[in-house]
Amino acid sequence: MSLFGKKKDENIGCCCEGGCGAKTMEETRQVQKTGGSVKVLGSGCAKCNELEANTKAALAQLGMDTTIDHVTDFMQIAAYGVMSTPALVVDGKVVAYGKVLKTQEVIKILQKVR
C-alpha cells in the first residue's frame, strides 16, 4: 500500500479537460469524423460571414456542389484546435485560421486539398 501513489490518469479525450457534457463531446466527435465537407468556424461575425461568402464563390467557380457548414459552437471550434477565427476546414482538416481568405486563395486551397 502506497500513501503517495500515482493518481490514475484519466483519458477523457477532451480538449477542455472535462468541462463539456457527453452530448457536446459526441457531437464534436461526429463533426471530426465526417469528411468531404467544407466548414467555416466562427462566431458569425462579419469576418466569418465574409469567409463563408468567399468560400461559396470559390466553390461556384470550381463547379463543386459542396455545402458549407458554419460552426458557431465554441466547443466544436476548440475541438479542431482553433483559437483564432475565422477558420476554414476542408475534409476535416483545418486549412486556414485567423484571417479572411480571398476567393482566389480559397480556390488554390481547394485545388490543392482535393
Please give the positions annotated as active site: 45, 48
Whether residue 48 contacts residue 88, with contact meaning beta carbons closer than 8 Å, is answered with no
- Pairing verdict, β 93-97 and 87-90: antiparallel
Q: What is the SS3 assignment for 1?
A: coil
